Amino acid sequence: MNENAVYERQNFGNSVGFGRRPALLIIDFQVGFADPEVFGGGNVKPAIEATEPLLKGMREIGAPVAYTRAVFSGDGSDGGTFALKVPALTTLTDDAEISQIVPELAPEEGELVVRKIGPSAFFGTPLQSWLTMRSVDTLIVTGATTSGCVRASVIDSVSYAYRTIVAEDCCGDRAIGPHDANIFDMGQKYADLMSGEEALAKARAATTANAPAT
């Protein structure tokens, strides 16, 4: 049985396309998620590497860039039920080395870095209002893990009516099976799937087309 045929017959997987003002969201590319001995593994490191040229290009066109960090209090009091499922998350304290953004994707001045204690980049953070202030209508999503915080953020991005683009080679998971399954599902229901290179090219075109006249 061709499972893809079910989605095609029911008319899933249509394109949302690019709007006028794209931004880049980098989710939880922290030192601990780059380390297979902590929270990493799978294809997380290649995803970080693929994000580097995308980040560089988005900066060149002046696009807004936002990051998330999973950060918990030292006593674990804000871990909630998420930490009941994954108690080791509470080791991601603000000052811990494993909770810092990987050096190759270090934020620059003017870029947003939000701390979060839930899977979604939007839950309990100022991300949505920050994007609104910058007239963002298209969100390119990268980060870790594909099946967890990336997916949760993508669903909330759609719920806030952003045109959502998943840069699939710039997303990583500690296991490839969950990565592949969630990439497929997000592509059918919530987002357009592109490589980081393709997403950057679309962002360049959108920015050029909508630049103010001089």
Question: In this structure, are residues 167 and 195 in contact, taking their beta carbons and an 8 Å threshold?
Answer: yes
Active site residue 149: yes
CA distances from 81 to 21, 77, 162, 209 (A): 36, 11, 28, 45
**What's the CA gap between 113 and 156, in Å, rounded?**
18
**What's the CA gap between 145 and 153, in Å, rounded?**
11
Catalytic residue selected from 65, 127, 149, 186: 149
Question: In this structure, are residues 15 and 25 in contact, taking their beta carbons and an 8 Å threshold?
Answer: no
Question: In this structure, are residues 199 and 167 in contact, taking their beta carbons and an 8 Å threshold?
Answer: yes
**What's the CA gap between 89 and 189, in Å, rounded?**
29
| H-assigned helices in the chain | 3-9, 44-60, 80-85, 127-133, 151-159, 176-189, 196-209
Which active-site residues does the annotation give?
A: 149
